[in-house]
Amino acid sequence: MELLTPSVGLLFWQFLIFLALVFLLRKFAWKGILSALKERENDISSALQMAEETRAEMAKLKSDNEKLLAEARAERDEILKTAKETANKLIDEAKNKATAEANAIIADAKEAISHERSNMLESLRKDVAGLSIEIAEKILRKELSDKEAQSALVSELIADARLN
C-alpha cells in the first residue's frame, strides 16, 4: 500500500520541482510560447480578414460580371433590334422601289398603248378616207359615165348650194 499513498517528502520534492519548472518555463519559455501563440493568432486573424476581403472582392467581381453580362445582353438586343429595323427598312424601300418601277412601267405601257392606238386610229382614218375616196371615185365614174347622169348631178348640187 505504500506505493499507492505517496509520502510527504515525495510530495514536497515534487511540488518544489514543479515550482522550479514553472519558474524556468516562465523565465525562458513563457514569452516565446506566448509570442508564438500571439503570432499564430495574428496570422489566423489576418488570414480570416484576407479571406473576408477576398470573399467581398469575389462578390464585387461577380456583381460586376453580372452587370457586364446584362450590359452585353442589352447591347446585343439593341444590335438585333437595329438590324431588324434596318432589314425592315431595306425591305420596305425595295418594295416601294419595285412598286414605283412597276407603276412607271405600267404608265409607260399605257402611254405606248395610247400612242399606238392614236397611230392606229390615224392610220385607220387615212385608210378609210382613202377607201372612201376610191369608192366615191368608182361610183362617180360609174354614174357619171353618161351625160344625163352628169347633168342631173350638177342640177342637184346647184339646188343644194342655193339652200345652204
* Domain segments of the chain as ranges: 11-128
Query: Model-level pTM?
Result: 0.41
Predicted confidence at residue 45, as pLDDT, reads 96
Predicted confidence at residue 162, as pLDDT, reads 67
Average pLDDT by stretches of 10, the chain with 164 residues: 75 94 88 90 96 95 95 95 95 94 94 93 86 78 73 78 64
Q: Which residues contact 149 (CB under 8 A, 6 or more apart)?
A: 143
Predicted confidence at residue 55, as pLDDT, reads 95
Predicted confidence at residue 152, as pLDDT, reads 78
Predicted confidence at residue 58, as pLDDT, reads 96
Please give, one letter per residue, the 3-state secondary structure of the chain.
CCCCCCCHHHHHHHHHHHHHHHHHHHHHHHHHHHHHHHHHHHHHHHHHHHHHHHHHHHHHHHHHHHHHHHHHHHHHHHHHHHHHHHHHHHHHHHHHHHHHHHHHHHHHHHHHHHHHHHHHHHHHHHHHHHHHHHHHHHHHHHHCCCHHHHHHHHHHHHHHHHHC
